[in-house]
Amino acid sequence: MAERTEVVFVDGMRTPFGRAGEKGMYWQTRADDLAVKAITGVLERNPQLPKDRIDDVAIAATTQQGDQGLTLGRTTAILAGLPLSVPGYAIDRMCAGAMTSVTTVAGAIAFGAYDFAIAGGVEHMGRHPMGFNADPNPRFLAERLVSGEALNMGNTAERIHDRFPQLTKERSDRYALRSQQKVTAAYEAGKIQPDLVPVAIRSGEGWGLATRDEAPRPETTMEGLAGLRTPFRPHGRVTAGNSSGLNDGATASLIASESAARELGLPVRMRLVSFAFAGVEPEIMGIGPVPSTEKALRKAGLSIDDIGLFELNEAFAVQVLSFLDHFAIDDDDPRVNQYGGAIALGHPLASSGVRLMIQLARQFEEHPEVRYGLTAMCVGLGQGGTVIWENPNWNKKAKAAR
């Protein structure tokens, strides 16, 4: 049997993330246009890639209707100016849509069927709220296959608090505060801006340009977080302050075989080591990244101690904390979410997986002493997804020096 083709993350870009709703900066911007901006950003930054060399375009969305419907990968490929010979398709794994886009095209590359693919996701939660017009099969509840609370992500986060009493509201609030602080510091240091594609936006005041994420709240304090209401249950622990918000945005990445990337002189920013998805009880979907990470580590022949950088999607602070506790990682471990996360930046569902990869790739460049990193996230209806990456900048001497 032939050896597996090495799969690499060449590059990734994203739109700034906006707040969903009429007051958000993308209220009058189409979802597919956001995806097109992310795709064209990646293509323009890598002009040495002939567009007809792209073998497929996989774009995810959770709510596939309206301007997020009609086989997004194909429609956005055409709108982005790719040759009509380049095919495309759409993917849905709720929050892990973009992550699944990457792993799906990676499988085709590893098999030898593709050399290059665009993979990403988009979510316009202002135009398409999660679950809008969905019609869950009544058997789910009638036959008690899942609890009614499993269909509400905030309730599933409250249930993690119930199951693990050591995961207090204060810990969640403190984690959320640190996320806001880290995002502010990352912006001040210019870490995030290089991978953002400016987007023209329209409002009542006229035309403008989106160049920064809209959701961060650098003024956040512990006192302010403590006073927020708990919308999912009286005297609960999950608030708008220690959760990700409702957001609009898109991401895109260029995934390739390492040999094809080297042939064209394209950068190799990360090398894919392994990936895994796992299912858990839908009522506590937030623990999903625990079994998916254990599975991905096992397939890679690694342990959690081998991971030098973590990019964990912050759907809820308690969900990240449950992961950290399981693997005996401190709440403030410097390896975790160095630039902050979704609590501050936002979580446009199906786009977020590639945002994690974009940030990890940046951190790999800054940390040649780190060999392995991972991106992981929880997924609605009781799933988790994890991708383990190797740092091509890894330097044994740098590791010894540190």
Beta strands in 168-269 (DSSP E): 199-203, 206-210, 247-257
Burial 54-63 (b: 16+ CB within 10 A, else e): bbbbbbbbbb
What does the longest C-alpha to C-alpha distance in the chain come to? 62
Say which residues have a Cβ less than 8 Å from residue 218's Cβ, sequence separation at least 6: 180, 181, 183, 184
Instruction: Return the SS3 of 380.
Output: coil
Contact 313/353 with Cβ under 8 angstroms?
A: yes
Phi, psi of 139 (to 5 degrees): -65, -30
Report strand pairing: 116-124 vs 56-60: parallel
Catalytic residue among 95, 124, 128, 161: 95
User: Rounded to whole angstroms, how far apart are CA atoms 338 and 172?
Assistant: 17
Of 124, 128, 161, 347, which residue is the catalytic one?
347
367 given a catalytic annotation: no
- Is 95 catalytic? The answer is yes
Token pair 């786009």 is found at: 351
Angle at 331 between CA 272 and CA 221, to 5 degrees: 120
Contact 27, 210 (CB under 8 A): no
> DSSP string of 264-308?
TT----EEEEEEEEEE--GGGGGGTHHHHHHHHHHHHT--GGGEE
Is 378 labeled as catalytic in the residue annotation?
yes
- What residues contact residue 158 under an 8 Å CB cut-off, 6+ apart? 232, 233, 236, 237, 238
The identity of residue 369, as a single letter, is E
Alpha carbon 288 to its chain centroid, in Å, reads: 15
Q: Is 308 in contact with 369 (CB distance < 8 Å)? A: yes
Residues catalogued as catalytic: 95, 347, 378
